[in-house]
Amino acid sequence: MSRTAVIAGVGPGLGESIAERFAEEGCSVALLARSESYLNSLADRLRDQTPGNATAIPTDLTDSDDIEAAFERTRERFGAVDILVNHASAASWDGLLEQDPEDFRQALAVGPESALHCSQEAVPDMVEGDGGTVIFTGATTSVRGREGAVGFSAAKFACRGLAESMARELGPEGVHVAHVVIDGGILPPGSDPDDSEEYLDPDAIADNYWYLVEQDRSAWTLELDLRPHVEEF
């Protein structure tokens, strides 16, 4: 039976790799982001080249009403949600004294607030069904605040706290909540740098996301730390 996965915050790079990996496993994938033309192109490719299905749902992830409508469309097309990936993030790279308050609020809206709304939409399906998986995409600054990036750091810290709280609440309900720390730079799409070993391969990261989905309930991972193979980090 096909599982329904929602990827909230899909773009070139890791988001695309996650969507592709899940579709390769036969999932029906709902792609949520603002860029309609990009989402349509990706959905077409996934339908043509993978065993799974895909649909593009242009969504403003800072708008709770838009999120609610996106999940309604997902259920109409594919049924109840089994997997959610909270992948969206956006922040200006500014230190404390340069940080614009509106940019700071935007970082929180796209990150933890969006993840809250998406989780509130997806989790009831999982609790009422046979369980499910919620994965948060984190970063180095989820655990170590980054100099000159107060908005990004605050948003990622908040997402990590949300994930940990949800895991304690929802584990007994059969819902696996995991937080992935991406501790390093991700190989940019279409690039082939000489120092590629210093980057994480987005396809390899996506393999780990699927590993989290497939884990046995007796040994769930709460936090998965991924970093590139380098001598020093």
Domain count, the chain: 1
Q: Which CATH number is 134's domain given?
A: 3.40.50.720
**Given this model, what pLDDT does residue 209 score?**
98
Question: Could you say which DSSP state residue 200 is in?
Answer: B
pTM: predicted TM-score of the whole model, two decimal places: 0.94
**Given this model, what pLDDT does residue 233 score?**
44
Q: What is the pLDDT of residues 38-88, one digit of tens each?
A: 999 999 999 999 999 999 999 999 999 999 999 999 999 999 999 999 999
Beta strand pairing call for 28-33 and 83-86: unpaired
Q: Does 86 map to a domain?
A: yes
Q: Does 107 map to a domain?
A: yes
Q: Does 75 map to a domain?
A: yes
Rounded to whole angstroms, how far apart are CA atoms 14 and 86?
A: 12
How sure is the predictor about 92, in pLDDT bands with cuts at 50, 70 and 90? confident
Helices 64-78 & 114-128, crossing angle to 10 degrees?
30
Evaluate if residue 33 carries a pLDDT over 60: yes
Q: Does 233 map to a domain?
A: no
CA torsion through residues 90, 223, 68, 169, sign: negative
3-state SS of 87-98? CCCCCCCCCCCC
**Given this model, what pLDDT does residue 150 score?**
94
**Cβ proximity of 163 and 178 under 8 Å:** yes
Place of tokens 């929602």: 6
Q: Does 122 map to a domain?
A: yes
Cα angle vertex 155, ends 149, 161, to 5°?
A: 130
Rounded to whole angstroms, how far apart are CA atoms 126 and 191?
A: 38
Q: Does 185 map to a domain?
A: yes
Domain that holds residue 156: 4-226
Mean pLDDT across 12-32:
97
Q: Does 232 map to a domain?
A: no
Q: What is the pLDDT of residues 130-167, one digit of tens each?
A: 999 999 999 999 998 888 889 999 999 999 999 999 99
Q: Does 186 map to a domain?
A: yes
**Cβ proximity of 85 and 137 under 8 Å:** yes
Q: Which residues of 146-165 are buried (b: 16+ CB within 10 A; e: fewer)?
A: eeebbbbbbbbbbbbebbee
